Amino acid sequence: MSEQNGNQAFLAPWCGRVDSEECESSLRWHQVMRPVSEAERPGRVLVGFCSDAGVVRNKGRAGASQGPRALRQQLANLAYHLRVPLYDAGDVVCKEDALEEAQEDFSARVTSLLNQGHRVIGLGGGHEIAFASFSGLFEHARKQTPAPRIGILNLDAHLDLRQSERASSGTPFRQCAELCKREGAEFRYTCLGVSQTGNTEALFKRAEDLNVEWVLDDACRSIDSPQVKEALDRLLTQVDMVYLTICLDVLPSWVAPGVSAPAARGIEVSFVEDVIDYLVPRVALPLVDVAELNPSLDIESRTARIAARLVERLAR
């Protein structure tokens, strides 16, 4: 790809309104976003995972591979309220069914960006991004300690602990548990917003066997709920950093229709934002991601818009 074509590819989603009549404090994301190759100091780095191979393997509805682009398009016009630089590290693209190769590539990119001092925000793509994200963070953290104490906090209607011969969007946290076991690290996983009817008895039994802690969606009405607070605090006392992953199907279907498996109930956006705000002053969040955005199933870009709002909050 020529330099000109490369610049055009980068600029494509990063365009939008310019308030030229206003002062310098009227900037929007598209005006400050730069390729990570131009980074002069650490900042927030976006990296996309263009895959729905895991969703297809999990018998879900395809289309999440277009999620990163749709999310960038919604981010582009947001007002810029950060005090750190914004960078884009491009996409890892899963070609056809080559999921494992794409996960390895994404993991390596995450590790490299973290090693450079950036904080990384992954843009999905199916929730198969989770194993790739965690693997990249684990590889980065193990350079500081052989058995890093990383907590996983998943906001999701599904436990994603499926047993299967092949990786999918339903297996990532079982894969994370297996990685921890191989490397002699403790597996610490908490899931908020779990749907009782969306997970079989076998999945809840596997969660128990792996010492997973979960809170059902109907108990996630408020961050001040004792069940929620206790689950969060137990996780935070056991870890040095948290990998936060948000599956958009944890939100009600009328808020987030553009996902593979829309929620009949879900949890409120305000609850998700309160969880983010609760974590930020209490634990390191070197890596976060937002998964399962499927633009082909979205209505009036509702899901993409709320995903962009959550990414902006995570970056800020």
- Banded pLDDT at 314 (limits 50, 70, 90): very high
pLDDT of residue 25: 78
Q: What is the per-residue pLDDT across 302-313, written as a single tens digit (0 to 9) for each?
A: 999 999 999 999
Q: How far is residue 150's CA from residue 76's CA, in Å, rounded to a whole number?
A: 31
Average pLDDT of span 80-106:
97
* Cα 134 to Cα 26, 175, 263, distances in angstroms: 36, 10, 25
Q: What is the per-residue pLDDT across 178-189, written as a single tens digit (0 to 9) for each?
A: 999 999 999 999
Residue type, 60: G
Q: What is the per-residue pLDDT across 243-274, written as a single tens digit (0 to 9) for each?
A: 999 999 999 999 999 999 999 999 999 999 99
C-alpha torsion angle, residues 169, 234, 144, 135 (rounded to 10):
0
Do you know the residue count of the chain? 316
CATH class of 3-315: alpha beta
Q: What is the per-residue pLDDT across 208-241, written as a single tens digit (0 to 9) for each?
A: 999 999 999 999 999 999 999 999 999 999 999 9
Task: Indicate the average pLDDT of the chain.
Answer: 95
SS3 154: strand
- Banded pLDDT at 133 (limits 50, 70, 90): very high
pLDDT of residue 19: 84
Q: How far is residue 141's CA from residue 20's CA, in Å, rounded to a whole number?
A: 43
Measuring CA to CA, which residue among 135, 139, 70, 143 is closest to residue 106? 135
- Banded pLDDT at 3 (limits 50, 70, 90): very low
Residue type, 293: L
Q: What angle do CA 275, 276, 278 make, to 5 degrees?
A: 65
